[in-house]
Structure 1
């Protein structure tokens, strides 16, 4: 990581992130290093290619690979254009990278991947994940994913991410050597467990609810757009019938024939233009879909905070229980019904030696428990501090991106309407000359 002065932040991956730095230092680092990797390297997904081969169970399969290209910015600035370094990656490798980042950086809103199979599409667009148009849109989405990660203050400096971009062979092995998979499995089990946090942080609870509502709203918006696109497609294509009828009509007219024929050509062009219009619309739909999936990433951070808080509360509860046992053993009184109390009544009291041994054992366990509570408390505080800084960064990014996308979509709709008006103005001129 580039030096930023005395308040530098270490990077986890093969090392540990020093989350004990002050919040201001973290914020400053995000500003200063936000485009660190992109300042050193140009990153792109240049093309996609369909291949056929055997999978893990020795069965033939067809799959798509994507060409990841990188080029040192310094080399480009010297007046030459060097050949970029390139390597092929499958979608599953992008998934492995994202899963590694999710586990390694539980306190960050990790950028999502583009969809694996098309959803919320208008009916004339293929939902086949091998369809060339869909593969091209996914190529753009994968490039956007890499640029999102490369522009993130912390993620961009991860060694595994860098090896994903630059090392053709051995990359997967280096991922699994980090042991992230075992951590992912244990976290998954913990997140699926039915636990309830007693002292939930309201900010994270509200943010989790916001993630739910954001996903719901964007889903509804995408469904509305898909339905509107279906109807728009039908309206445009019906205009092709005007072209056919005008052409047939022009064949039986002398004075009016040329005007009708010209008007028919304008109608045909109008009907054909809808394919390009709706393809452009899909670009804006994909931008919305990115934040549909970002909502999952946001909620994941909130769920991981719940788990961190739950582990703290369990450690504190266990410590309280151990201290109570110590007090009962020292005074010889049992405050609550317990198996120990029943055993004492049935088989007599413990000898002083036995009680002394247990007291020493409890003292050791209490010391360990106090250290564990301190550690869990520190982990929880650091998680909250780091996560909230990144959530604030994400909110700024989201507001900017969605505002720009919606404005661009509105401009596109205005342009489309103007083209429609122009077609009818042209048709009017044709009719006027008849």
Structure 2
């Protein structure tokens, strides 16, 4: 998977992507924005470690930290033995980084983090987030997350992301100083509000529908896999009964005893092999889970487009209303009902000075409204262009990743079946020698 992501880095570094980089605030970009970070740096999440500490309320807690190691790619390519820069990060820090990226780059399908707690697991596996096997799979998932960000033509050159990899202390303060939380909170309130976009981009509407279907299908696939794994586990373990019976039978047979006992040993080994097989299979399930969570990231880009379009339409309506008020005030012809018009009829006309002051205020509001509409139009157009471009990049990545995962899964199943055939072939030879 890591090799495939490094190839992605080469394929996604396009001129259009670089244009998007230039439009991002210079304060958030590293100096060399001509290429992705993954081309300049080797990144690994080398290991996980369980630690115990105290919370703010002086209570004990057990948590896991992950060791991030980085090396210059030039040194690695030249075969130099360079000690890596290393620092430890908690899962919550990965969450903070991703939340920052979501707010800063609303037009990008931000890669998901691996699950915090195990989902869609077959019941023989532990769902404990401190289980060593689960922690190991999450370590792999966190490395995949970093590699995906580091291979992205825009996010890879973000200064905050670079600090996350290189600066252990003070990193959180740097993130909070960007003020992204305030922007995230206001956007969240807007997204939770009930609104209807009158003229949404049909491509984004279709992509939003696709993300819903992708999430539903991957959920069904993971549930089916868990059921198959459970049944397969039972079939393998039942072969252990063959082994026990053959071993007990061998004790009462003289001529047949050695053959029965040998066949029993093959059955026992076959029954025990299912634990390693299903643990390996769980890694393939994690690749499917990543795209289950990617579906939500894809939907988030579509929702942010709707918000951008909604803000543009609201600003346009407000500007139209202000221009209508100016026309009515200038001509004296009221075309729409208003409280101001009603009070004028009841209490008399405004003085010339009052009317002039209102006209001046409306002119100022119209100028501000026109500027707002221009800004919102540019923002919406940029979101549509950059968002659609990134969603196409995501689709190409998805097709490659899932094709590779399914092929490797098929190879694993073929290998498993061959081992079953080999076990029965060995048992047949044992029976033949009786």
- TM-score class, shorter-chain normalisation, is over 0.9
Other-structure match for 1:23: none
Which residue of structure 1 lines up, in the alignment, with residue 256 of structure 2?
256
Report the Cα distance in structure 2 between the residues aligned to 1:227 and 1:248, rounded to whole angstroms: 33
List per-residue Cα deviations over 1:234-270 (Å, max 9, x = no partner): 1100100000000000000011101100100000001
Structure-1 residue corresponding to 2:168: 168
- Tell me whether 1:15 sits opposite 2:27 in the alignment: yes
Corresponding position of 2:353: 353
Corresponding residue for residue 129 of structure 1: 129
How far the C-alpha of 1:166 sits from its partner, in A, is 0.3
Contact 2:28/2:158 (<8 A) preserved = no
Tell me the CA shift for residue 14 of structure 1. 5.8
Q: Distance in 1 between matches of 2:56 and 2:342?
A: 58
TM-score (norm 2): 0.93
1:318 aligns with 2:318: yes
What residue number does 2:199 align with?
Answer: 199
Residues 245 and 168 of structure 1: CA distance in aligned 2, closer, same or farther (over 3 Å): same
Partner of residue 40, structure 1: 40
Mapped partners of 2:195, 2:15: distance in 1: 42
396-405 or 8-17, which deviates more:
8-17
| Equivalent residue, structure 1, for 2:76 | 76
SS at match of 1:15: helix
- Look up the match of 2:180: 180
Distance in 2 of aligned mates of 1:398 and 1:256? 56
Q: Deviations over 1:206-248 (max 9, x none)?
A: 0001000000000000000001101111110010000000000
Once residues 140 and 149 of structure 1 are traced to their aligned partners in structure 2, the CA distance between those partners, rounded to angstroms, is 14
Distance in 1 of aligned mates of 2:161 and 2:26: 11
Indicate conservation of the 8 Å contact 1:14/1:178, yes or no.
Answer: no
Cα drift, residue 16 of structure 1? 6.9
Instruction: Report the more deviating stretch, 126-135 or 358-367.
Output: 358-367
> 1:333 offset after TM fit, Å?
1.9
Cα shift at 1:371? 1.3
Measured against aligned partners, the alpha-carbon deviations of 1:392-431 in whole angstroms (never above 9, x if no partner) come to 1000000010011011111111111111111111111111
Q: Deviations over 1:45-64 (max 9, x none)?
A: 01100000011222110000
CA contact (8 A) 1:11 1:157 kept: no
- Counterparts in 2 of 1:428 and 1:11: CA distance versus 1, 3 Å: farther
State the shift of 1:80 in Å. 2.4
Q: Where in structure 2 are the equivalents of 1:45-194 lying within 5 Å?
A: 45-194=45-194
RMSD, aligned α-carbons: 1.8
Counterpart Cα distance in 1 of 2:96 and 2:15: 33
SS in 2 for 1:120: coil
Aligned to 1:219: 219
Q: Is the 8 A contact 1:68 1:165 kept in 2?
A: yes
> 1:13 Cα deviation (Å)?
6.1
Deviation at 1:391, TM superposition (A): 0.6
Q: 1:317 to 1:16 in 2, by over 3 A?
A: farther
When residues 5 and 344 of structure 1 are mapped into structure 2, their CA distance, relative to the original with a 3 A threshold, is: closer
Unaligned stretches of 5+ residues in structure 2:
1-12
Kindly state the Cα deviation for residue 332 of structure 1 after the two structures are TM-superposed. Answer: 1.3
Tell me the CA shift for residue 361 of structure 1.
0.9
Q: TM-score, normalised by structure 1?
A: 0.93
The residue that corresponds to 1:26 in the other structure is none
Q: Distance in 2 between matches of 1:209 and 1:301?
A: 12
Q: Is the 8 A contact 1:46 1:66 kept in 2?
A: yes
Range that drifts further, 415-424 or 241-250? 415-424
1:367 equivalent in structure 2 = 367
CA–CA distance in 1 between the matches of 2:361 and 2:424? 91
CA shift for structure 1 position 203: 0.3
Deviation at 1:10, TM superposition (A): 2.4
Counterpart residue number, 1:25: none
